[in-house]
């Protein structure tokens, strides 16, 4: 004989599914987007929002209709642009370290120094035969 679980009439959702499980975790959209902007990893976002990675994956699918990686890529790009903007401002203000770094990144500059030696090279080898005949 098969037993069926009795469900209270208020435990049934309008779509007919049983609603006795744990309630969905609410994700603060603004906080999520701010964490993406500062380049937080998925694990770090989950830690701050106190949720599981599956919850973040579900949130992205429901809120943006995209996978997490696609949402993160979109939302993190403004943070990258902010960093770039600040770097250029620092260089424009005369920061020598930033000027050198940006020169290497965008202008192909480097610290390489070519050393040329125009003298001769002499190598002397002593061969020792340890084999027994």
The answer, yes or no, to whether residue 111 has pLDDT greater than 80, is yes
pLDDT of residue 24: 83
Higher pLDDT, 113 or 85: 85
pLDDT of residue 114: 74
Pair 45, 33: CB distance under 8 Å: no
What pTM value is reported for the model?
Answer: 0.62
Q: Write down the residue that tokens 């696609």 correspond to.
A: 70
- Phi then psi dihedrals of residue 54, to 5 deg: -65, -35
What residue spans define the domains of the chain?
Answer: 24-107
């Amino acid at each position: 004989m098969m037993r069926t679980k009795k469900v209270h009439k208020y435990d049934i959702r309008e779509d007919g599914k049983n609603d006795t499980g744990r309630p969905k975790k609410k994700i603060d959209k603004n906080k999520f987007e701010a964490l993406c902007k500062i380049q937080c990893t998925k694990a770090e976002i989950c830690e701050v929002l106190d949720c599981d990675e599956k919850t973040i994956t579900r949130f992205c699918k429901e809120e943006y209709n995209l996978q997490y990686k696609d949402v993160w890529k979109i939302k993190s790009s403004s943070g990258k642009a902010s960093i770039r903007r600040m770097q250029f401002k620092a260089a424009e203000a005369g920061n020598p370290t930033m000027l050198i770094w940006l020169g290497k990144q965008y202008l192909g500059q480097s610290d390489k120094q070519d050393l040329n030696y125009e003298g001769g090279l002499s190598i002397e080898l002593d061969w020792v035969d340890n084999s027994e005949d």
